């Protein structure tokens, strides 16, 4: 398909999804430096918060180095052209967090729910729209719902006031055919003025291909992270996506070489480990497991001696979704116990 001349808004995830592999411990200086680099490269929208969104700081999700308020206050005043967004999962983030973000100058709020639970987003989407914010509904783990089911959920978010709906491949499980089917159906069902977005993870190395498939069926906002810094095998790598879009004539407004330098010079050096498709990240994609479970499963492997891959496969089999991080320990303990029983019987 000829996409030449199409315009898309690239939305950077490095400083929000990238908080997962950083265990939410980015310094204010790292945030400032990377955000400034992204702004200079022409990235129009940059997400900043705890990896699990506003209010994510907790025993369940992990305590960050700084509060959302501190991160947002550090970044927003430095931006010359980029706008800043914040993620909010109802139940983790509250309307007070939303108001705080608005007061600090956050332009875009993304209200995220599991892909069958859009009804819990009404209050937050309604308030953000009332405040005049760019208001996005973000349907996580979208591989777990059918195209028709996603249409119903997307319409709900649109009816609450969202001006953009995201289909989110949190597990990096979707293939380009799935993306076209699901986003195509949602595009057809939404009002023409409502934008469509796609958020990919690279666990099956499909981040760029899926993003292009999304653009083909009408997505105008695409998420990506510099050097892919994000949960699991990371998000769609921004510098690769920008280069591919450039070759295809898709207009992103992002400078091909400047974004490469941000990835290489600013983001790769702060990685605590290489963001790559190792066997555990690959298993996330293969078994359809929530990306941010990866580090929890690796920690449980060390604690209980059960391979992370086995824990992740079991989490996928049991259909665990975001918010059920505590079930990772539970699953690991049960698998360890089953192994002990098997060992004793042998």
- Which of 31, 185, 231, 313 touches ligand LCEJXURD (CB under 6 A)? 231
Cβ 68 to Mn ion, closest distance in Å? 17
Residue nearest to ligand LCEJXURD (CB): 170
**Is 20 a known active-site residue?**
yes
Q: Which residue has the tokens 């400047």?
A: 258
Other CB atoms within a 10 A radius of the CB of residue 203 amount to 28
When asked if residue 234 is in the footprint of ligand LCEJXURD (CB under 6 A), the reply is no
The nearer residue to ligand LCEJXURD, 206 or 335, going by C-beta atoms, is: 206
**Is 170 marked as binding a ligand?**
yes
First-residue to last-residue Cα distance in the chain: 58
Characterize the bridge pairing of strands 45-47 and 9-12: parallel
Rounded-to-5 percentages of helix, strand, coil across the chain: 50, 15, 35
What the block records as the tokens of 6 is 């199409």
Helix (H) or strand (E) holding 103: helix 95-104
When asked if residue 295 is in the footprint of ligand LCEJXURD (CB under 6 A), the reply is no
Q: Scan residues 13-72 and list those touching Mn ion (CB under 5 A).
A: 17
Using the contact rule CB under 6 A, the part of the chain among 1-9, 22-30, 48-56, 303-311 near ligand LCEJXURD is 48-56
When asked if residue 12 is in the footprint of Mn ion (CB under 5 A), the reply is no
| Alpha-carbon torsion (217, 276, 246, 195), positive or negative | positive
Nearest to 227 by CA among 271, 281, 276, 263: 263
Question: Which residues share a beta bridge with 110?
Answer: 87, 136
Give the single-character DSSP code of 267: I
Cβ 334 to Mn ion, closest distance in Å? 27
When asked if residue 17 is in the footprint of ligand LCEJXURD (CB under 6 A), the reply is yes
**Is 50 marked as binding a ligand?**
no
When asked if residue 275 is in the footprint of ligand LCEJXURD (CB under 6 A), the reply is no
- Which of 41, 291, 297, 325 touches ligand LCEJXURD (CB under 6 A)? 291
Write out the residues near Mn ion by the rule CB under 5 A: 17
Annotated catalytic sites, by residue? 20
């Amino acid at each position: 398909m000829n996409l030449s001349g199409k315009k898309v808004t690239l939305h950077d995830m490095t400083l929000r999804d990238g908080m997962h592999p950083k265990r939410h411990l980015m310094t204010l200086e790292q945030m400032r430096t990377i955000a400034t680099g992204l702004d200079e490269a022409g990235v129009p929208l940059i997400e900043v918060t705890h990896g699990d969104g506003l209010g994510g700081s907790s025993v369940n999700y992990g305590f960050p180095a700084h509060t959302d308020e501190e991160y947002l206050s550090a970044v927003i005043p430095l931006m010359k052209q980029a706008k800043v967004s914040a993620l909010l999962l109802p139940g983790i983030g509250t309307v007070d967090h939303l108001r705080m973000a608005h007061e600090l100058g956050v332009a875009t709020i993304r209200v995220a729910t599991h892909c069958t639970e859009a009804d819990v987003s009404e209050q937050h989407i309604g308030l953000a729209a009332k405040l005049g914010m760019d208001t996005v509904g973000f349907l996580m783990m979208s591989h777990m719902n059918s195209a028709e089911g996603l249409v119903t959920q997307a319409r709900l978010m649109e009816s609450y006031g969202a001006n953009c709906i995201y289909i989110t491949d949190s597990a990096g499980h979707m293939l380009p055919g799935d993306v076209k089917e699901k986003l195509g159906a949602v595009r057809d069902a939404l009002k023409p003025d409502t934008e469509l977005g796609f958020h990919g993870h690279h666990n099956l190395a499909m981040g760029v291909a899926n993003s292009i498939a999304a653009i083909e069926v009408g997505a105008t906002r695409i998420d990506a992270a510099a050097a892919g810094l994000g949960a699991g095998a990371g998000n769609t790598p921004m510098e690769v996506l920008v280069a591919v879009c450039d070759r295809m004539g898709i207009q992103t407004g992002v400078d091909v070489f400047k974004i490469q330098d941000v990835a290489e010079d600013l983001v790769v050096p702060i990685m605590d480990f290489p963001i790559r498709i190792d066997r555990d990240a690959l298993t996330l994609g293969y078994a359809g497991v929530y990306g941010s479970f990866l580090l929890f499963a690796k920690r449980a492997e060390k604690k209980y001696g059960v391979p992370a891959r086995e824990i992740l496969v079991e989490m996928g089999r049991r259909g665990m979704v975001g918010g059920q991080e505590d079930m990772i320990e539970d699953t690991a303990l049960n698998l360890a116990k089953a192994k002990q029983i098997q060992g004793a019987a042998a």
